[in-house]
């Protein structure tokens, strides 16, 4: 039997900005502080094609150093001068960077496509030295070289400072700097204080969390299956819909059938939608803004309503929920919201979906081409049923679902129902 693959890591080293940067503290926005709390997000980009020529690690390091000049807040640290009011302290320290080497080729571990991972997460994801708190960091990177010449780039970022699109914007700049561009193609904008600070609603009792034992799996939804439902929606409603609408309707319907709640029991769907386009009046340019611009939406129906509804009807309900979200977000920004929309029931009746297929991490080029596969690694969350949408590994098309949304008694039916639609 082949020996298990091992990864040898160098100690974390700081990559400081390549030039002088401003000091002082910067505020975070009301959305940053409300939506994200102090969550760190881990993900991996897999690069199969062996690069030629220059030292790719040194090139990438240089990309970070140069990008940290226009993106100088990322070289700082999270501070909390008063409880509940985190800020960014622009210390200019830089980002922690880890070099690593794997004892195997990417082919030996199936391109890191399998769940559970063939290499432990801790071997692929960067962490700061033991005497530095992870929660204080803004972004860390690890580049792991495989014996075939391919790479896995592990990124850990603070959700307090970036949403997914914002982190992808920064990494795109790192890639552009690594490839020798004179400046990032998108000019970064901080402007957190341009986001209105609506009055905080009174806090209710703290949520009670139940830990679930979710079955973890991946499933591919083909482009043909998605197109078939899109065509149905167009024929029955004369409306267009998105891939997100179709895939979400499929999962919501299949899961309701699988968990077999009482007919009148409520089943809920939760998702976060990007709202940058709604901030054009608040920001100098929404394009360069890399803070949190997401807002929670969703819908609730009885179990019977979801199981008896057609996919077209569920797609329509999802589209209506997205439309309502825009109005609610603008209401919240204007201080008109009476309650906090972040209070979602975290129980087995709620399904939370997250779309990573269009965030931008799949388009980052550090100088050795675009990744063949990008996937999240926050799969230790076990308090809410969740599904993450990814682009499948190249050259496959469609959507890959990373599923952690049913427990063992419901897994077989859920898989059967999904396979009928996928």
CA dihedral 307, 312, 317, 319 (to 10 degrees): 150
Active site residue 135: no
- In this structure, the strands spanning 350-355 and 386-390 are parallel
Note whether 289 and 186 are within 8 A (CB). no
Q: How far apart are CA 272 and CA 133, in angstroms?
A: 28
Active site residue 287: no
Per DSSP, 84 falls in state: T
Element (H, E) at 82: strand 77-82
Q: How far apart are CA 365 and CA 395, in angstroms?
A: 17
Of 89, 159, 355, 379, which residue is the catalytic one? 159
Q: How far is CA 99 from each of CA 5, 19, 149, 203, 224, rounded to the nearest angstrom?
A: 17, 23, 14, 44, 41
Q: How far is CA 391 from each of CA 221, 324, 326, 361, 400, rounded to the nearest angstrom?
A: 10, 27, 26, 10, 6
Note whether 87 and 72 are within 8 A (CB). no
Q: How far apart are CA 360 and CA 2, in angstroms?
A: 36
| Distant-in-sequence, close-in-space partners of 279: CB < 8 Å, separation ≥ 6 | 195, 286, 289, 293
Of 132, 358, 365, 410, which residue is the catalytic one? 365
Map tokens 């799969």 to a residue: 379
Token digits for 356? 């990573």
Q: Is the peptide bond before 395 cis (omega within 30 degrees of 0)?
A: yes
Q: Which residues does the annotation mark as catalytic?
A: 159, 365
């Amino acid at each position: 039997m082949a020996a298990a693959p091992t990864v040898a890591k160098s100690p974390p080293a700081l990559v400081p900005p390549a030039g002088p940067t401003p000091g002082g503290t910067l505020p975070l926005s009301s959305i940053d502080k409300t939506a994200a709390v102090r969550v760190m997000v881990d993900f991996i980009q897999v690069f199969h094609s062996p690069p030629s020529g220059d030292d790719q690690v040194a090139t990438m390091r240089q990309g970070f150093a140069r990008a940290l000049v226009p993106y100088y807040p990322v070289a700082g640290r999270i501070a909390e001068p008063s409880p509940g009011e985190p800020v960014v302290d622009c210390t200019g320290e830089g980002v922690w960077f880890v070099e690593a080497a794997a004892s195997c080729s990417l082919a030996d571990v199936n391109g890191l496509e399998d769940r559970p991972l063939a290499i432990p997460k801790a071997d692929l994801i960067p962490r700061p030295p033991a005497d530095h708190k992870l929660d204080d960091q803004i972004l860390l990177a690890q580049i792991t070289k495989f014996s075939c010449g391919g790479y896995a780039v592990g990124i850990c970022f603070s959700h307090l400072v970036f949403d997914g699109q914002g982190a992808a914007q920064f990494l795109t700049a790192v890639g552009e700097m690594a490839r020798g561009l004179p400046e990032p193609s998108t000019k970064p904008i901080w402007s957190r204080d341009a986001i209105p600070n609506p009055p905080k609603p009174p806090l209710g009792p703290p949520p009670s969390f139940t830990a679930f034992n979710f079955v973890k799996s991946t499933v591919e939804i083909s482009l043909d299956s998605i197109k078939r439902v899109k065509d149905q929606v167009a024929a029955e409603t004369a409306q267009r819909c998105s891939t997100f609408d179709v895939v979400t309707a499929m999962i919501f319907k299949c899961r309701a059938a699988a968990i077999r709640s009482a007919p009148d029991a409520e089943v809920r769907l939760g998702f976060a939608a990007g709202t940058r386009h709604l901030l054009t009046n608040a920001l100098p340019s929404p394009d360069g803004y890399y803070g949190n611009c997401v807002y929670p939406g969703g819908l609730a129906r009885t179990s019977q309503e979801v199981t008896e509804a057609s996919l077209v009807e569920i797609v329509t309900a999802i589209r209506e929920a997205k439309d309502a979200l825009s109005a609610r977000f603008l209401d919240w920004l204007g201080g008109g919201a009476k309650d906090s929309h972040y209070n979602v029931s975290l129980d087995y009746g709620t399904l939370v979906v997250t779309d990573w297929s269009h965030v931008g991490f799949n388009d980052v080029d550090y100088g050795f081409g675009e990744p063949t596969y990008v996937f999240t690694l926050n799969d230790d969350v076990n308090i809410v049923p969740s599904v993450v949408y990814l682009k499948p590994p190249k050259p496959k098309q469609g959507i890959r679902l990373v599923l952690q949304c049913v427990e063992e008694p419901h897994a077989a039916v859920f898989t059967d129902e999904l396979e009928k639609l996928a």
